[in-house]
Structure 1
Amino acid sequence: MAFLGKIKQSFGSTFSFFSDSVAELKKVRWPSRKEMVSYTLVVLVTVTIVTIYFAVLDLGISNLVRVITE
């Protein structure tokens, strides 16, 4: 009987978790379409800048290594 009680308690806590999660998601203030487009553009620009920075850095280091090894 103790085993069945633990199973019932386990499923109860699982259902409680999901119902609490749904309740919390209803409290979330979701961004508007305009905000989401602006956030997406900020992320894309940032990723592009960081990518260019690391590409230039990589080219510089590889040229430096080539000069040193030749």
Structure 2
Amino acid sequence: MANVGGFFKNVMSEMRKVSWPRRKELTRYTVVVLATVIVMAVFFGLVDLGISQLFRWYLDL
């Protein structure tokens, strides 16, 4: 049990050293991540739709 207590003490010590982002930075990073996810979802959705249409066209020949 002493090991567990020492572990959490070390964790708290390291967490104090972390440089946390400011609110403005965090908001900017969040917007960038969400925009990237949306763009990639639309891109892969369109690619999937295109491939599906190609397979339907090929199978109807």
1:12 and 2:2 matched = yes
Q: Measure how far apart 1:54 and its partner are.
A: 0.3
Paired residues, what number?
Answer: 60
Task: Give me the TM-score of the superposition, normalised by structure 2.
Answer: 0.95
Percent of paired sites with the same residue: 42
In structure 1, runs of 5+ residues without a counterpart are: 1-10
Q: Measure how far apart 1:23 and its partner are.
A: 0.4
Runs of 4+ aligned residues of structure 1 deviating over 6 Å after TM superposition are none
State the structure with more CA Rg.
1
Task: Give me the TM-score of the superposition, normalised by structure 1.
Answer: 0.84
CA RMSD of aligned residues (A): 0.5
In structure 2, runs of 5+ residues without a counterpart are: none
